[in-house]
Amino acid sequence: MSKIREIVARLDIPVIVAPMFLVSNPAMTLAACGEGIMGSFPAHGTRSTEQFEAWLIEMREGLAKQRDAGGKPAPWAVNLVVHSSNPRMQGDLELCVKYEVPVILTSKGAPGDVFKAIHDYGGVTLHDIASQRHAEKAIEAGTDGVIAVAGGAGGHTGTINPFALVNEVRQIWDGVIVLAGGMTTGRDVLATQAMGADLAYIGTRFIATTEAMASDGHKAMIVDSKATDVFFSAAIDGAPANWLTKSLIAAGVDLDVLRTTLPGKIVAAGESRKRWKDIWTAGHGVGNIASVLGTAELCRQLKTEYAAARRAIAPLAVAG
Ligand SMILES: Cc1cc2nc3c(=O)[nH]c(=O)nc-3n(C[C@H](O)[C@H](O)[C@H](O)COP(=O)(O)O)c2cc1C
């Protein structure tokens, strides 16, 4: 069995808590791993390479504590922007090598030398893609698996329907596919497997957790929003993303101007970090998020729902 397949087999259910800028942190990641679900955070979610190292140390110590208490924590992951435009890439990558982070979630570009550096210490890579062409490039460069970011995902999103995207990627790849976009329940996780993907990548649902670093306002807006309150635009930070409409209005963004802005042009003022702090992102799954839970409790809920969904479809599986 390939290393990535072995890692997937070690999870209680096939879920990765997706990395989220200004939201994910070691506390959330450790809580998920303690429940047998892969947790993650983005390296760029820290203010500096020094702070990133502090988070890696927190992970190492937290996981050791779980093991000392008899637990079997799930493998964890870090998101790295592997593009030359990221000035921290080299330093952050060196730390991932030093701390032997088991899974690296890579986004932008798909440089083979980065994948090689990760493979050399025994790590595996899952690379973000939003089309069959992106997948082709990442596979050629040597990734161990792809993260298919479909339409409706929180943060920077794809635009292709999840069925269409998984089918196109499956035409060229029999390895691991992680599917992202709009999932909030254990039933959704089982559905990703029925569609031909291997794992679900869930972000937005985990913003509404006690450990998440998101502001209380962001969490409350997620609980109060429906899918129709999510606004797609490439004009807030230059990349296609889904934003909570109420937060755009509160930040004084004119939605009509946004609607008519050409792709790539940026409407919202201020530096990028501030934009993500004041203008909140979320995926289409918001309408199914009714409360803020502890991360461990949410993971247990997903596992219970997943088991119930498997039982519910068992008659369908034998009916054919
Ligand atoms: C608040 C927020 C911040 C995000 N930040 C990142 C990030 O830093 N790096 C990244 O690769 N993806 C990021 N994403 C995308 C997620 O990793 C994932 O693709 C997405 O949340 C999945 O869709 P869902 O939110 O509908 O579950 C972010 C998503 C959200 C909601």
Strands (E) located in the chain: 15-17, 40-42, 77-81, 103-107, 124-129, 145-149, 155-156, 176-180, 199-202, 230-233, 241-244
pLDDT the model gives residue 219: 98
Q: Is 149 in the pocket of ligand 1 (CB under 6 A)?
A: yes
How many whole angstroms from 223 Cα to the centroid of ligand 1? 17
| Neighbouring C-beta atoms of residue 142, cutoff 10 Å | 17
How many whole angstroms from 107 Cα to the centroid of ligand 1? 11
pLDDT the model gives residue 265: 74
152: left (phi over 0), alpha (psi -120 to 50) or beta: left
pTM: 0.97
Backbone angles phi, psi at 57, to 5 degrees: -65, -40
pLDDT the model gives residue 85: 85
For residues 232, 233, 237 and 241, what is the CA-based torsion angle, rounded to 10 degrees? Answer: 30
- Owner of token pair 């798909």: 110
Task: State the helix-helix crossing angle for 295-319 and 186-194, rounded to 10 degrees.
Answer: 40
Q: Is 75 in the pocket of ligand 1 (CB under 6 A)?
A: no
How many whole angstroms from 23 Cα to the centroid of ligand 1? 9
How many whole angstroms from 136 Cα to the centroid of ligand 1? 22
Structural domains present in the chain: 3-214+293-319 (3.20.20.70), 226-278 (no CATH)
pLDDT averaged over 10-residue windows placed end to end, the chain, 320 residues:
96 98 98 98 96 98 98 98 90 97 93 94 98 97 98 98 98 98 98 98 98 97 98 91 95 89 70 75 98 98 98 85
Cβ proximity of 284 and 184 under 8 Å: no
Q: Is 202 in the pocket of ligand 1 (CB under 6 A)?
A: yes
Q: Is 162 in the pocket of ligand 1 (CB under 6 A)?
A: no
